[in-house]
Amino acid sequence: MCGIVGYIGPNSATPRLIAGLRKLEYRGYDSSGIALVAPVNGNNEILLRREVGKIDALQRELDTHPLTADATVGIGHTRWATHGVPSVRNAHPHLSRNGRIAVVHNGIIDNYQELRAQLTARGFEFRSETDTEVLAHLIELNSADTLVDSVRAALRHVQGTFGIAVVSADFPDEMIVARRGSPIVIGSNGTETLVASDVAPIVPYTTSVTFLDDGDIAILTPGRFEIRSLSNASVSREPTSVDWDPGAAEKGGFEHFMLKEIFEQPEALENCLRGRLIEADGAAKLSGLRLEPRDIASLSNLVITACGTSYYAGLHGSYAFEQLAGIPARIEQAAEFRYRNPIVSPDTGVIAISQSGETADTLAAVREAARKGALVCSICNVVGSTIAREAGRGIYLHAGPEIGVASTKAFLCQVAVLNMMALLFGRTRRLSNAEGICIVRAMQQLPNLVRSVLAQNDRICAIAEKIAGCTDAFYIGRGYMYPAALEGALKLKEISYLHAEGYHAAELKHGPIALLDEHVPVIACAPSIPGHDKTMGNIQECRARKAPVIVIASEGDESVSAFTEDVIRIPACHEIVAAIPVVVAEQLLAYHVARLRGEPIDQPRNLAKSVTVE
Ligand code: F6R
Please give the average pLDDT of every successive group of 10 residues along the chain, which has 614 residues: 92 97 83 95 95 94 93 95 86 97 93 95 95 97 97 96 96 97 92 94 93 95 96 91 66 84 94 94 95 95 98 98 98 95 93 95 96 96 88 92 91 98 96 98 97 96 97 98 98 96 95 94 98 95 95 96 94 98 98 96 80 74
Q: Residue 171 is inside which H or E element, if any?
A: strand 171-180
**How many Å is the Cα radius of gyration of the chain?**
25
Name the residue at shortest CA distance from atom 9 of ligand 1.
308
Report d(CA 561, CA 559) in Å as an integer.
Answer: 6
Among 356, 494, 612, which residue has the most ligand 1 atoms within 8 Å of its CB, making it the best to mutate? 356
Instruction: Tell me the residue ranges of DSSP E strands in 243-370.
Output: 277-278, 283-284, 301-306, 329-333, 348-354
Grouping H, G, I as helix, E, B as strand and the rest as coil, residue 581 is helix
Q: Which residues pair with 508 in a beta bridge?
A: none
Grouping H, G, I as helix, E, B as strand and the rest as coil, residue 387 is helix
Q: Is 492 in the pocket of ligand 1 (CB under 6 A)?
A: no
- Beta carbons within 10 angstroms of residue 255's beta carbon: 12
CB 338 within 8 A of CB 364: yes
pLDDT at 254: 85
Per-residue H/E/C for 40-93 = ECCEEEEEEEEEECCHHHHHHHHHHCCCCCCCCEEEEEEECCCCCCCCCCCCCC
608 CA closest ligand 1 atom index: 11
Report d(CA 448, CA 299) in Å as an integer.
Answer: 35
Q: Which residues pair with 101 in a beta bridge?
A: 168
First vs last Cα of the chain: how many Å apart?
12
Q: Is 587 in the pocket of ligand 1 (CB under 6 A)?
A: no
Q: Is 305 in the pocket of ligand 1 (CB under 6 A)?
A: no
611 CA closest ligand 1 atom index: 11
Picking from 314, 261, 170, 237, the residue whose alpha carbon sits closest to that of residue 450 is 261
Instruction: Assess whether 2 carries a catalytic annotation.
Output: yes
Name the residue at shortest CA distance from atom 11 of ligand 1.
308
Instruction: Assess whether 285 carries a catalytic annotation.
Output: no
pLDDT at 85: 83
Helices and strands per DSSP (H, E), number in the chain: 19, 26
